[in-house]
Chain A
């Protein structure tokens, strides 16, 4: 269950996403060192670690978002259903459709209504939806994001008129509308109040029934509450990976122990 060699999830779970010998660079700076990790299908995997440990870089490598930064490059493999997303001929936007992402700050498109925001991914993709198809997508997305009941009577209002927590759920709805298989969330609650945070955490466990979820968080309690598996990164290396319960009650590595008990720095 450790950094050396391949990391496997236990027993009956199937692997949706995996990385093998994954290293990431920003110019000369190596941000990730030889990461081997398996992400189980229909589960929530949390990625924790102190600031600058490479959490965000890791998930951005998963859907080929890392390479959009100038001078950034990736070595090794990221396997989605066993196929390397960095393989020859693989289209990066196609990967990003299958692996959706939600960011730290809620980012509804400011000029769009709630409804337009939800279908933005589809519209920008060049899909022309009929009115009924659009309504279906909007309702499904908002329901999945547990936002429908709160906004169903105001779908024409600007997305930015919502509260921070609602905006973040709107972004989740937008990410889900394109029907991805994996959902990456990069510190999705860091700007939210505790109630909105609890909503999102509850939502994650519901979404795990249909999606594979990777949650980057600097909030250890959030990882403990909301995930099935936890990966601990330190200095760009994967220190420990295991079931969340084990990581928080009886971690195997000293560094993990020090981090989860607050003995850092």
Chain B
């Protein structure tokens, strides 16, 4: 089903579906920026930026509620079937993933504000890399959603392993700091949290990608071995 689909006979239905798609993409854009700014606030030690980013979350939350309401309305009023049904149920899940990503960005900001009050433990090198990766996963998962691109979705899922590896590397590094110098524990734990938040963000992006594959193929690949997919 690669060729562009015909329009629905019911124009209002068509319009609602379009709006849902556009809103999810806009919400995706917002959380991408939240991730970049949250990590920016940490690396640049800019607590004001962190507070601004936290404030932006209200918009993401508002859009989450709106997208969810739209999905419910579409299900109730139009009894969607087949690819429409898969699109709407996927949209329902994507909005929840995006909202959680926004919350994780807020959490990064909160840790950044705390960390910025003390001198820096070490230069942040892996965290920005991890943030960049997670951000690209969010972006690509939504591009895959927009274009029904399962190959891109697969790539996003594969990239999750890189993020997990970086998370583990950061953990080991911080552990050695803490073992050597217990005074660093409070700070190192906060950095560790940031790493964990980024890892969670990447997981949400991978969830989105998995749901895109379901949406396109009608096949569930969640909780399956890669080899069996």
**Structural contact, A224 and B5, CB atoms closer than 8 A:** no
Chain A residues lying within 8 Å of B13, measured Cβ to Cβ, are: 262
**Structural contact, B82 and A251, CB atoms closer than 8 A:** yes
Is A28 an interface position by the 8 A CB rule? no
Chain A residues lying within 8 Å of B83, measured Cβ to Cβ, are: 257, 261
**Structural contact, A250 and B1, CB atoms closer than 8 A:** no
**Structural contact, B9 and A249, CB atoms closer than 8 A:** no
Chain A residues lying within 8 Å of B82, measured Cβ to Cβ, are: 248-251, 256-257, 260-261
**Structural contact, A260 and B5, CB atoms closer than 8 A:** no
**B interface footprint on A191-229 (CB within 8 Å = 1, 0 otherwise):** 000000000000000000000000000001100100000
Contact A261:B81 (CB < 8 A) given known A249-B218, A250-B86: yes
Is B176 an interface position by the 8 A CB rule? no
Chain B residues lying within 8 Å of A263, measured Cβ to Cβ, are: 5-9
CA distance A261 to B219 in the complex (A): 18
Chain B residues lying within 8 Å of A224, measured Cβ to Cβ, are: 79, 81
CA distance A220 to B84 in the complex (A): 14
Contact A248:B81 (CB < 8 A) given known A254-B1, A257-B1: yes
Q: List CB contacts (< 8 Å) of B40-94 with chain A.
A: 78-86
**Structural contact, A249 and B85, CB atoms closer than 8 A:** yes
Residue of A nearest to B1 (CB): A254
Chain B residues lying within 8 Å of A251, measured Cβ to Cβ, are: 82
Is B227 an interface position by the 8 A CB rule? no
Q: Is the interface of B mostly helix, strand, loop or mixed?
A: loop
Q: How large is the interface on B (under 10, 10 to 19, 20 to 34, 35 or more residues)?
A: 20 to 34
CA distance A249 to B9 in the complex (A): 19
- Shortest Cβ distance from B55 into chain A, in angstroms? 40
- Shortest Cβ distance from A102 into chain B, in angstroms? 25
**Structural contact, A261 and B80, CB atoms closer than 8 A:** yes
Q: List CB contacts (< 8 Å) of A132-175 with chain B.
A: none
- Shortest Cβ distance from A259 into chain B, in angstroms? 9
Q: Which of B1, B80, B81 has the most CB of A within 10 A?
A: B81
- Shortest Cβ distance from B89 into chain A, in angstroms? 9
**Structural contact, A262 and B9, CB atoms closer than 8 A:** yes
- Shortest Cβ distance from A175 into chain B, in angstroms? 29
Q: Which of A249, A260, A263 has the most CB of B within 10 A?
A: A263
Q: List CB contacts (< 8 Å) of A230-265 with chain B.
A: 248-251, 254, 256-258, 260-265
CA distance A111 to B218 in the complex (A): 54
- Shortest Cβ distance from B51 into chain A, in angstroms? 45
**A interface footprint on B20-49 (CB within 8 Å = 1, 0 otherwise):** 000000000000000000000000000000
Q: List CB contacts (< 8 Å) of B168-227 with chain A.
A: 217-219
CA distance A217 to B68 in the complex (A): 32
Residue of B nearest to A253 (CB): B1
- Shortest Cβ distance from A94 into chain B, in angstroms? 40
- Shortest Cβ distance from A255 into chain B, in angstroms? 11
- Shortest Cβ distance from B2 into chain A, in angstroms? 10
**Structural contact, B6 and A248, CB atoms closer than 8 A:** no
CA distance A217 to B217 in the complex (A): 28
**Structural contact, B79 and A261, CB atoms closer than 8 A:** no
Residue of B nearest to A257 (CB): B82
Is B118 an interface position by the 8 A CB rule? no
Q: Which 6 A-B pairs have the closest CB atoms?
A: A250-B218, A260-B81, A263-B6, A248-B81, A261-B84, A260-B82
Extra inter-chain contacts (11) besides given A248-B81, A250-B219, A261-B8, CB under 8 Å: A224-B81, A249-B81, A250-B82, A250-B218, A251-B82, A254-B1, A261-B83, A262-B8, A262-B84, A263-B7, A265-B9
